[in-house]
Structure 1
Amino acid sequence: MAADANSIILHQYDVSPFSEKVRVVLGLKKLEWYACDEPVIMPKPELVALTGGYRKIPVMQIGADIYCATQIIIRELERRFPSPSIFVGGDKGLGWGTAMWTDRVFFQAAVAIIFGGGTALADEAFIKDREKLTGRPFDIAAMKQAAPLMAEQFRAQLGWIDDQLADGRAFLMGERAGLADASVFYNLAFIRWTSPAGAKLIAAWPRVAEWEARVAAIGHGTRHEIAREAALDIARAATSTEEPRADTGEPNGLKPGDRVSVMADDYGRDPIMGELVSSSAQHIAIRRADPRVGEVVVHFPRAGFLVMKA
């Protein structure tokens, strides 16, 4: 079955932890999608043609609409495919706060354990790439020194998860899996893939390991493969479905037609330039053009991103 402008295309790679979060959501919603495998390190010319400079993984493409960062990807999947919902326990607002915790505090503890403990991922090319991405040294020796302390932090957070499961519930918010489960699960998956020492930390919490197995059993929906060039051809032939929309509550007076730059506030702070199409408290969409893909609209979340007039 060939992909088209209505297909979900996830630009990802299999050992990407943030891609795993999205893959679990695709599984929860039982969706059909296309994996477009991108390189782990730069250069990523096809991805950059779509995004205008955003290089982090994953990125979701639907036609000529490009969604950068898991927050906006999952929000859009929920909007387009509302049933079954990812909000399963009164967590429609706080679910996103849980995701911010797992993306930052929990993830950073996992990173220190994985790279401080030694992993085949951390070759010289990977280290140099991540130093460019973060703008600071990717100091394996410092991570090795910090790993025992971060193991304590990771263990404490596993304890929170265990407490949530202590009443016998199957998933974090009740009897159905949702956003909270996908958000927490991917850090444990990343540990499992890369760190035997980290896996032992998880195994010490039987309720957590049993919950982890239940989430893993959900699967990833129906996956197909698509080549990068084919994905770009789809973007070039498509037209964005995003309509211009002003936000009367926009705190800095931004409005459709303004030239703006958008960048992440943590790392990978490459500014992406474009013309504002729509915005809200939770999203911003900008139009840009590239010789390879033509005109596309690139979508970002607001929490965790900075927007400035160009």
Structure 2
Amino acid sequence: MAVEHPIILHHFPQSPFSEKIRLVFGLKKIAWTSVEIARIMPRPDLMPMTGGYRRTPVMQIGADIYCDTQCIMRELERRFPEPTLFPQACRGLASASAMWTDKAFFQSTVNLVFGALADKVPQEFIADREKLRGAKFDVAAMASAIPQMRDLFRANVQWIEAQLADGRRWMCGDEISLCDINAYMNIWYVRSSLPMILDQVLAEFPATKGWETRMRGIGHGTSTEMSTAAALEIGTRATPTTAELADINDPNGRKPGDQVQVMPDDYGKIGVRGEIVALSSQHIAIRRHDPIAGEMVVHFPRVGFLVLPV
């Protein structure tokens, strides 16, 4: 009989990308297991399972490891289809919205937050993020750029306001979608860090202010706590359940069995190596063997990631 493994989210409370997944748990009323990881490296119980991928969050179900919120959300939608994250009216746009919210919008948001809190950022956090980015994490420059970041943040929020201006409750109409969850991440991050600045911005945008209240009311579902060591033990004892899946239309002729490495295309460029198990236009899963964790299948999205031959 198949073993039912818990849905484990490796995250930390301040992570805006993790807040997306916590909201999906709330929306779909999913019972989940919370594993709180350190904000900075090392993460000795998680890295054996991810193969070195270190961005947050990561979802674990047995020995299947899901990296990046795009990938995590699609798997949660597959397992818990109601209520859907992809209403028919914006099925493609819901996924594509992450390329706005997670990149340009988030860049203005994170620079605004760290610029305003520059004198409170620990040196060890700065050093860790410089390793992650492969570039200087210059909080002094962020502080100097606060006027420009406030302009950019306001401009992005105005786009939410424009979408809600006809009185709709959600960005795609009468049904909440991934568009809402993606955009809300940035509002949540400023609310958590700089509430007075957010209140100043939202005073101009009443529809967005009401939308924020509705989003906050979704909650995070029902969670139980677990240690990182216990999660690793579950992974080492489990067997991956991902079925082999070929993509006959793969433009590069990739197929199950090929050895590849997968890495983000912007920052955190650590290649995870393994053998392709399943792939499609939006997803790739690779099998790897770790001396600590054993056999794992690690899942990634295609947009925002590079797939390179080994």
**Offset at residue 135 of structure 1 (A):** 0.5
- Equivalent residue runs for 1:120-159 within 5 Å: 122-159=121-158
1-structure distance, mates of 2:295, 2:30? 27
Q: Who is 1:178 aligned against?
A: 177
Is this contact kept in 2: 1:113–1:195, CA < 8 A? no
Is this contact kept in 2: 1:34–1:223, CA < 8 A? yes
Question: What SS does the aligned partner of 2:248 have?
Answer: coil
**Offset at residue 120 of structure 1 (A):** 7.0
**Residue identity matched to 2:239:** T
Q: Who is 1:304 aligned against?
A: 304
Is this contact kept in 2: 1:53–1:270, CA < 8 A? yes
Question: What SS does the aligned partner of 1:46 have?
Answer: coil
- Deviations 1:31-90 (Å, cap 9, x if unpaired)? 010110010000111111110000010000011100000000001101111111112351
Q: Who is 1:220 aligned against?
A: 220
- Deviations 1:226-283 (Å, cap 9, x if unpaired)? 1111111111111111111221111212111111100000100001011111111001
**Residue identity matched to 1:205:** F
Gaps of 5+ in 2: none
2-structure distance, mates of 1:264, 1:71? 12
**Residue identity matched to 1:238:** A
Q: Who is 1:111 aligned against?
A: 110
Query: Which range moves more in the overlay, 64-73 or 140-149?
Result: 140-149
**Residue identity matched to 1:201:** V
Query: Which range moves more in the overlay, 235-244 or 195-204?
Result: 195-204
Gaps of 5+ in 1: none
Aligned residues: 307
1-structure distance, mates of 2:120, 2:279? 38
Q: Who is 2:256 aligned against?
A: 256
Change (3 A) 1:197 1:113: farther
Is this contact kept in 1: 2:26–2:219, CA < 8 A? yes
Q: Who is 1:188 aligned against?
A: 187
- Deviations 1:89-145 (Å, cap 9, x if unpaired)? 511111111122100011001011101112576210110000000001001111112
1-structure distance, mates of 2:207, 2:162? 9
Q: Who is 2:51 aligned against?
A: 52
**Residue identity matched to 1:289:** H
**Offset at residue 202 of structure 1 (A):** 3.2
**Residue identity matched to 1:23:** R
**Offset at residue 201 of structure 1 (A):** 2.1
2-structure distance, mates of 1:231, 1:121? 32
Q: Who is 2:276 aligned against?
A: 276
Is this contact kept in 2: 1:88–1:174, CA < 8 A? no
Is 2:30 the counterpart of 1:31?
Answer: yes
Give the superposed CA RMSD. Answer: 1.4
**Residue identity matched to 1:265:** D
**Offset at residue 196 of structure 1 (A):** 3.9
1-structure distance, mates of 2:292, 2:197? 43
Change (3 A) 1:137 1:100: same
Q: Who is 1:19 aligned against?
A: 18
2-structure distance, mates of 1:19, 1:299? 17
Is this contact kept in 2: 1:41–1:129, CA < 8 A? yes
1-structure distance, mates of 2:53, 2:285? 14
1-structure distance, mates of 2:111, 2:160? 20
- Equivalent residue runs for 1:284-295 within 5 Å: 284-295=284-295
- Equivalent residue runs for 1:55-134 within 5 Å: 55-88=54-87, 90-118=89-117, 122-134=121-133
**Offset at residue 6 of structure 1 (A):** 2.6
- Deviations 1:167-210 (Å, cap 9, x if unpaired)? 11111122232211110111111111112453232343222111
2-structure distance, mates of 1:92, 1:138? 36
Over the matched positions of the two proteins, sequence identity in percent amounts to 51
2-structure distance, mates of 1:22, 1:120? 30
Is this contact kept in 1: 2:93–2:179, CA < 8 A? no
TM-score (norm 1): 0.96
